[in-house]
Structure 1
């Protein structure tokens, strides 16, 4: 059975997920507008040694939505309930984009639940100009102006090698519920500051990975976050943008495998 044909299950709190493999648990959280399948290359690589859970964010895929007023902290509370429902003990958590912000939040708020934390293409203390731009987009999306070509143009290069991943991502964006997309994007737009000053509280091995061409989740952001965490490291993938998990799967898989092999320090 391939990953794409795996069934979805649902936690008691209404989160849909796919699971495969055996071993220490790894939980994967995608970005705004996507779904569990965005992690397909990583689940294939990691499930040979770990038990991998790819979870649909609220209102995405088959997960129940949150309140339209939900902020990043509400998504972190949602994840706390999901992990409690799964009841698999401390987990390794990796998130992409919005999923990265949620992963950071749970590592800060519920450290006993987390073995290791990875932020892929995470944002950190946007500039005033960047913050205004993303909040303006959030307002437009709330007003029903959801142009999926705009994020695709930001996320992918024009290289032929990116086009298959772009088509796959476009299908996911086209299938998301507009209301849930607006809720998540609003939380994402406002969430870069929520846990930014609490990075020193992340005591587990932490990976901060991005593409050197990602203008919104920059390499400088990744380096600043890694420097603020007691056990943080940075990985910058050259020649790639926001969707590195799909456009540079081998490099990302290798980085995650190395991260999963890092020893936890005594707390």
Structure 2
């Protein structure tokens, strides 16, 4: 287990409180780019936007070409059609790499972004050098699956639930206040239709590529918080055991938005992951 303090007010002001400038591909994917070197693409989760990676962008762009994307229907990116499944989100990511003329890439995803990054690692072959799977789900148990499917079904009726995610993603400790309020802001900005499409894909996607970790040859980091009730340490351990070069890192005392509540630890672990050769681990 690894311990860390939460994101400070100064760190939030530096890396997460303001909007980041964007460019767009021809098909309408918005992205922010910083730094130079080996490329790293960051994919956020449902309801978020690329600013959710701000602490990682600031740190990792010192040695890498860091590209954070707005997932379809989030931030300023174009939507995918209603009914799009996880496979369509993975295909979107492949098209984004083509539009950016990126041949090989490292990819880190958080939550729904983790599912996309795992799908990319499983299906895009040698184009994915390394994959980092942050707070990602794997084969939910029956109770968890029923709960997430019920939440997905309720969205067209009740709209975007802003308080439920905050309750699941953060503890009540004072140290989480800044990150929680940033997350609340992003949930309030999300497009309801884009959110609904992504959440439905997320709800049904925990098994889509679950059998493919054995085929992921590059270094694979599985990272989550010890107190994340949905993307659990056990899930991370199960996936890492299947991946030929997989390993687990658990951040003690943190929940779902660990990249915001423990940015220094997460930055260090991502730097460690990026330092390994493709034949190591």
- CA RMSD across the alignment: 1.2
Report the equivalent of 2:62: 48
Cα shift at 1:5: 5.6
Report the equivalent of 2:85: 71
Q: Among residues 170, 176, 185, which one is paired with 1:156 in the alignment? A: 170
Q: Unmatched 5+ residue regions in structure 1?
A: none
Cα shift at 1:146: 2.4
Report the equivalent of 1:175: 189
In 1, Cα distance between the equivalents of 2:156 and 2:150?
10
In 1, Cα distance between the equivalents of 2:119 and 2:20?
29
Which contiguous aligned blocks of 4+ residues in structure 1 show a shift greater than 3 angstroms? 2-6
State the Cα deviation string for residues 109-162 of structure 1 (Å, max 9, x = none): 101211100000000000011000000000011223422001000000111110
Report the equivalent of 1:15: 29
In 2, Cα distance between the equivalents of 1:69 and 1:232?
32
Report the equivalent of 2:134: 120
Q: Among residues 133, 139, 142, which one is paired with 2:156 in the alignment? A: 142
Q: Unmatched 5+ residue regions in structure 2?
A: 1-13
Cα shift at 1:249: 0.2
1:186 aligns with 2:204: no
Structure with more contact order per residue of length (Cα contacts < 8 Å, sep ≥ 6): 2
Q: Among residues 64, 82, 95, which one is paired with 1:81 in the alignment? A: 95
Cα shift at 1:88: 2.5
Report the equivalent of 1:196: 210
In 1, Cα distance between the equivalents of 2:19 and 2:151?
34
Q: What pairs with 1:245-260 in structure 2 (closer than 5 Å)?
A: 245-260=259-274
In 2, Cα distance between the equivalents of 1:66 and 1:188?
14
In 2, Cα distance between the equivalents of 1:146 and 1:58?
16
Count of paired positions: 265
With the length of structure 2 as denominator, give the TM-score of the two structures: 0.92
